[in-house]
Amino acid sequence: MSNYSKYQEILRKIADVQYASAVLNWDQETYMPSKGAEYRAQQLSTLAGIAHELSTTKELGDLLELLKNDDSLGEKEKRNIKESLKKYIDNKKYSTEFVQQLSKTISEAFQAWQKAKAENNFLLYAPYLEKLVKLKRDECCILGFESHPYDALLDQYEPGAKTTDLEVLFADVRIQLVDFVKQIASKPQNQESFMFTHYNKQKQWDFGMDLLKQIGYDFDAGRQDVSSHPFTTNFCSEDVRVTTRINENDLSEMIWSCIHEGGHGLYEQGLPSSEYGLPSGEYISLGIHESQSRLWENNVGRGLPYWKANYKKLQEIFPDNLQNISVVDFYKAMNIVKPSLIRTSADELTYHFHVLIRFEIEKALIEGTIEVKDLPSYWNSKYKEYLGINVPSDTQGVLQDIHWSHGSFGYFPTYSLGSFYAAQFYAQAKKEIINLESEIENGNMSLLLNWLRSKVHIHGKFYSAEELCIQITGEKLNFKYFMDYAKNKYSKLYDL
């Protein structure tokens, strides 16, 4: 067996353990009975410890050092070794005890968050979150950083990203997007009340399944379930699962959850299965991952061509609700721009104010300028400052997101990065695919999916996010594409 084959064997064994843990996590968020929480936390902690021990053996380290100087390897193999060596060095910085403690604390925090959200009581969650924030601060010191401790956490989700880079990007959001939203706010608002009449849960579910099939989600390699916070998880590229959320008095929740998570699922299903366990079989960054969900949700799913393909069927399913509503009226309703409390149901423009708020809070938490006990009041003040709204409850405020209970500090900025990448990629797709939006209007999503498969999915981690963006569009991430898309679309919608 060659050294590279030995390396593949070790990484696939590590992947087996990590994906077994992922199955337990998926079950915890979908079907696990509440009494199973304590032992589930223990099981996940044990598996995290085993995966860490396998990831930090001397055998793997020696093998990676040997392979990094092997000139017989191809470019893909060399990139795999480079990525794996970086990850190995980072993993060696952790003790098994720390990894197990972090995993156990996350499981406990998740259960506490669920209870606190259901009972609208942040105090039930706060002690667990305090433990988690302390561990994440410790983790920053373990990993090391040059300028800001938050950089260490960002790098886990968006490799190479720096706090200072995001501060510049969000300055563009403040300067350009805030002013544009103010222009929209000065215009008469479009009607959306019909979106909030009663829509049968099962009929919504069935329609959502059809939308997933239409964009190319493979149900022989995945499934959809219901969860309180929609998410996508995978155990290999041939077992990729999505969840949705259904509100019988808000049609939009199911539609956008299905299309958004479907976009994530398509990316995972498009990764090369032959590269299981290796960097070349993994997504590049969460910003790029989010670009895939945002492209389908916003650039396609919130577009008029998409609903010219799908609205007639929706009218047939819900005639009492929609028989007197035209496709253009429906299109206008789904693109209402106005401040709102909940990030996941926010419009595609004010959405970035929600992300900005979380970025500022996370940065402050990690640097220690605020503490967990300050979160509700700090959160509420930020919503008043950026969105001009009062937060009526913890459930609709500081408890609305699942991410902190997962320990996912550094994750939120990737949501905005993803939208900005999506706008840039979609602009390029329209240049390269003849009559793309006419094909979408005819219900043909395969041309776009195939383009994304060849441009993004197939490469695994061969490119960095920045390299991929240059490879596809000829330039680095440029906020101008998002603003051009927003101004072109919403100037027409609001007669600016």
Identify the active-site residue in 139, 261, 275, 362: 261
Which residue in 403, 379, 400 sits closest to 390, CA to CA? 379
**Angle formed by the axes of helices 375-387 and 351-367, nearest 10°:** 140
337 in helix, strand or coil? Answer: coil
Phi/psi of residue 242, each to 5°? -125, 155
Which tokens sit at 269? Answer: 């299903």
- Residue 38 is a catalytic residue: no
Taking CA atoms, 427 is separated from 278, 296, 370, 435, 476, in Å, by: 31, 13, 40, 13, 14
Q: Name the H helices within 120-200.
A: 126-143, 150-157, 163-172, 178-185
> How far separated are the first and last CA of the chain, in Å rounded?
66
* Separation between Cα atoms, residue 493 and residue 407, nearest integer Å: 39
- Adjacent-strand bridge partners of 205: none
Q: Is 250 left (phi over 0), alpha (psi -120 to 50) or beta?
A: beta
Phi/psi of residue 11, each to 5°? -65, -35
* Separation between Cα atoms, residue 149 and residue 3, nearest integer Å: 37
* 393: number of Cβ within 10 Å: 15
Could you tell me which residues come within 8 angstroms of residue 285 by beta carbon, excluding any fewer than 6 positions away?
Answer: 157, 158, 159, 414, 464, 465
Which tokens sit at 328? Answer: 């253009």
Which residue in 337, 255, 259, 253 sits closest to 242, CA to CA? 259
Taking CA atoms, 100 is separated from 106, 277, 279, 409, in Å, by: 10, 22, 24, 18
- Adjacent-strand bridge partners of 243: 225
* Separation between Cα atoms, residue 278 and residue 268, nearest integer Å: 14
> Which residues are known catalytic residues?
261
